[in-house]
A and B are shown apart, each in its own frame.
Chain A
Amino acid sequence: MSIVNEIIANYNYWITIFLMLSGLYIVVAKSNMIKTLLGLAVFQTSVYLLYLSPGKILGGTPPILEKGIEVYSNPLPHVLILTAIVVGVATLALGLALVVRINEAYGTIEEDEITAIVDREDHAE
């Protein structure tokens, strides 16, 4: 198999992995909480791509039945991801609400600054 075919066959997976790792990097390396949540969102969308890519059939159409069409892409990943997106935004909102409350309590949304404040309070007691 030629190298071009090899790239086409795996390109979706590679980009999926790239997005997944970018999300992981943001979550691990950044200390700003809103940025971390957005990184988690990127991580989540990479999972959508991981589900949808293998369900695509080249030459197929969306799974809405119509006379005269034989090949449809796989509908099952669509169902799973459709609900996951809306649940994802609801949980993102919950995370943002927590960040707002943390900002009201500590006056900052940087993780390391909050750790420093909590340490100082512990020593003061």
Chain B
Amino acid sequence: MRLDTILRVCAKLFIPFIFVFGLYVQLHGDYGPGGGFQAGVIIAAGVFLYAIIYGLSAAQRAVPKGLVEFMVPMGVLIFAGTGIYSFVVDTNYLDYNNLAHGDAVEGQHWGIFLVEIGVLVTVASTMIAIFYAFAGRGRQ
């Protein structure tokens, strides 16, 4: 795989667009199809492509293992933390009406945005961590 020029050039061309598309799907999720789950999977697929074409060690230099394993619980914490914050600003758990201090629609926008970020982080990092685990196992 390492000497395959066409694959390497094409992958290099595609990978930035995959990440941009992932971010578009994430941030445009309020207005079109998309959201944290899809964006997380698309970003993870970009990392998979890089790892398959350029090798696992190159991918782990770009996206370190430790960072990925740190992000797995981080996403759940962002999600649950949004819930706790909305609990503190005098409404119920995961009720975003008062997040923007008064304006309910604005609060809902913020709540949905933060929660989707949490989902994105969890899904993308879990998928990458699973792939690293499978790819790093090696045949016995």
The finding on whether chains A and B are genuine partners in a shared complex, rather than unrelated, reads yes
Q: How far is the CB of A4 from chain B (nearest CB, A)?
A: 33
CA distance in complex: A93, B126 (Å): 11
CA distance in complex: A78, B84 (Å): 27
Whether the pair A104, B123 counts as a contact (CB closer than 8 A) is no
With contacts defined as CB atoms under 8 Å apart, how many contacts are there between chain A and chain B in the complex? 24
Chain B residue total in the interface (Cβ 8 A): 15
A interface: dominant SS: helix
Complex interface: chain A residues within 8 A of B41 (CB): 86
Q: How far is the CB of B25 from chain A (nearest CB, A)?
A: 13
Complex interface: chain A residues within 8 A of B127 (CB): 89
The answer to whether A54 has its CB under 8 Å from any CB of chain B is no
The answer to whether B33 has its CB under 8 Å from any CB of chain A is yes
The 24 sampled A-B contact pairs (Cβ below 8 Å) are A62-B33, A64-B31, A64-B32, A64-B33, A82-B35, A82-B37, A83-B37, A85-B37, A86-B37, A86-B40, A86-B41, A86-B123, A89-B127, A90-B126, A90-B130, A93-B130, A93-B134, A96-B134, A97-B130, A97-B133, A97-B134, A100-B134, A100-B137, A104-B140
Chain A interface (Cβ < 8 Å from any Cβ of B): 62, 64, 82-83, 85-86, 89-90, 93, 96-97, 100, 104
